[in-house]
Amino acid sequence: MFVQSNATTRQEHKNGLCVAQRRGGRETLVQWQNGDQRWCDTNDLDGKVVLVSPEYGQEDSYHE
């Protein structure tokens, strides 16, 4: 469930959770273990990319 970034050697950008995707899945919003969130190139991530909140950023379509 956790991903690692191949694009950085910074220790704080390890063990990230995938929150959302954009640009047809080419970019993934990752929240790192230190709380930092960054858009990353999906191809630079090691590990299975599974969104923890698939509805992130989508507006509620329910209307009364």
Count Cα neighbours of 48 within 13 Å in the Cβ-side half-sphere: 3
In this prediction the pTM is 0.73
Domain extents in the chain = 4-46
Length of the chain: 64
| Local confidence band at 58 (pLDDT 50, 70, 90 cut-offs) | low
Separation between Cα atoms, residue 60 and residue 44, nearest integer Å: 31
- 3-class SS of residue 16: strand
Instruction: Give the gyration radius of the chain's Cα atoms.
Output: 13
What pLDDT was estimated at residue 39?
A: 93
Percent helix, strand, coil in the chain, to 5, is 10, 35, 55
Does position 64 have pLDDT exceeding 50, yes or no? no
What pLDDT was estimated at residue 48?
A: 86
Q: What is the pLDDT of residues 7-54, one digit of tens each?
A: 776 676 678 899 999 999 999 999 988 888 999 999 998 888 888 876
